[in-house]
């Protein structure tokens, strides 16, 4: 049996787009007889109480995840072991570049768009020692390829840039691209469903998984939720969280139905949606959310006028 996952960062409330992706991750997993795990990606900025809030929001729309609940903050030794294994294979190098250094180098003529320019890749021991006096080093992967191809259920074959990306930041904390790959491999996750803004990360992560001797998962990068201006949906857009809508009299079941129907699925229950689920039939365009119309769509007139 394979495993899928939903992996939010506890930085605040989940908005409708996040909840829609959670439902999709669950549907993809369950429709293929996989378990679906929940992973809390709390290595970066975390807001106090956000994890508990997000768990409550997921439960309110009826999503139940399989055990165990994984918290990245509890797995630091595992990430450092992976770093050591790559170091032992001479696949890492120290990088002393600031973001400004990288930005300026990347804007130079003939620089590969979005790729690290290799500034510190071949420093001599003496040069590294001199730079270490100025600032601590991050660790970057010494990539042997410039691109890598993955298969995505939505996008098909996708080839993207693989550069010398950061695996350990200069403060000693594991980078996102390392942690997600190590966690997916450790928990047998062979299906990754997430927003299509992360599609460009998949080639890097798949390549790293291969280097670590881990299987490459099947990917499904689903369309994002956008506001009416075509920007990524955010709390500032108005009534776009479960809490906001609850204050207006909308309950979790109604929100779940609204999300399912936006995917062309029956909104009566998760089971009914699962019975009808076919990835080939999913919308391929971004989902545009207009908060000012949501309550009108979800609440019958008699309820709105009470």
Q: Do the domain assignments include residue 192?
A: no
Q: Do the domain assignments include residue 16?
A: yes
Residue with tokens 């979005």: 114
> Same domain, yes or no, for 180 and 228?
no
Angle ∠(149,150,152) on CA atoms, nearest 5:
140
Q: What is the pLDDT of residues 169-193, one digit of tens each?
A: 999 999 999 999 999 999 999 999 9
> In whole angstroms, what is the distance from residue 15 CA to residue 242 CA?
7
* CATH assignment at residue 210: 3.40.50.620
Q: What is the pLDDT of residues 213-232, one digit of tens each?
A: 999 999 999 999 999 888 99
> Same domain, yes or no, for 68 and 55?
yes
| pLDDT for position 294 | 80
Burial of 193 from C-beta contacts in 10 A (0-12 / 13-18 / 19+): buried
- DSSP H or E run through 242: helix 242-247
> In whole angstroms, what is the distance from residue 84 CA to residue 126 CA?
23
> Same domain, yes or no, for 201 and 278?
no
What is the domain count for the chain? 2
Judge contact between 96 and 131, C-beta under 8 A.
Answer: yes
Residue 32 structural domain: 3-72+223-234+241-304
Q: What is the pLDDT of residues 83-136, one digit of tens each?
A: 999 999 999 999 999 988 888 776 555 556 668 999 999 999 999 999 999 999
Q: Closest Cα to residue 96, out of 146, 133, 126? A: 133
Q: Do the domain assignments include residue 27?
A: yes
> Same domain, yes or no, for 207 and 249?
no
> In whole angstroms, what is the distance from residue 264 CA to residue 273 CA?
9
Q: pTM, whole model, 2 decimals?
A: 0.93
> Same domain, yes or no, for 85 and 177?
yes
């Amino acid at each position: 049996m394979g495993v899928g996952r939903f992996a939010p960062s506890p930085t605040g409330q989940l908005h409708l787009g996040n909840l829609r992706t959670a439902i999709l991750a669950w549907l993809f997993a369950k429709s293929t007889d996989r378990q679906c795990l929940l992973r809390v990606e709390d290595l970066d900025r975390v807001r106090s109480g956000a994890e508990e809030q997000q768990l409550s929001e997921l439960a309110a729309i009826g999503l139940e995840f399989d055990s165990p609940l994984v918290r990245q903050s509890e797995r630091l030794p595992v990430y450092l072991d992976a770093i050591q294994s790559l170091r032992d294979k001479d696949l890492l190098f120290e990088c002393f570049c600031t973001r400004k250094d990288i930005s300026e180098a990347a804007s130079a003529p003939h620089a590969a768009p979005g790729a690290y320019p290799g500034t510190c890749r071949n420093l001599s021991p003496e040069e590294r020692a001199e730079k270490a006096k100025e600032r601590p080093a991050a660790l970057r992967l010494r990539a042997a390829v410039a691109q890598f191809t993955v298969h995505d259920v939505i996008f098909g074959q996708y080839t993207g840039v693989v550069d010398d990306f950061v695996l350990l930041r200069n403060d000693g904390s594991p980078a996102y691209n390392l942690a997600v790959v190590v966690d997916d491999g450790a928990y047998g996750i062979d299906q990754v469903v997430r927003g299509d803004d992360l599609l460009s990360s998949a080639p890097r992560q798949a390549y790293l998984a291969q280097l670590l001797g881990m299987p490459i998962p099947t990917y499904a990068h689903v369309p994002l939720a956008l506001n009416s201006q075509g920007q990524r949906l955010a709390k500032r857009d108005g009534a776009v969280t479960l809490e906001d809508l609850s204050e207006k009299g909308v309950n979790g079941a109604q929100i779940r139905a609204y999300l399912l129907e936006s995917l062309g699925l029956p909104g009566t229950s998760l089971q009914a949606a699962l019975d009808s689920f076919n990835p080939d039939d999913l919308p391929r365009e971004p989902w545009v959310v207009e908060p000012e119309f949501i309550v009108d769509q979800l609440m019958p007139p008699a309820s709105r006028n009470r």
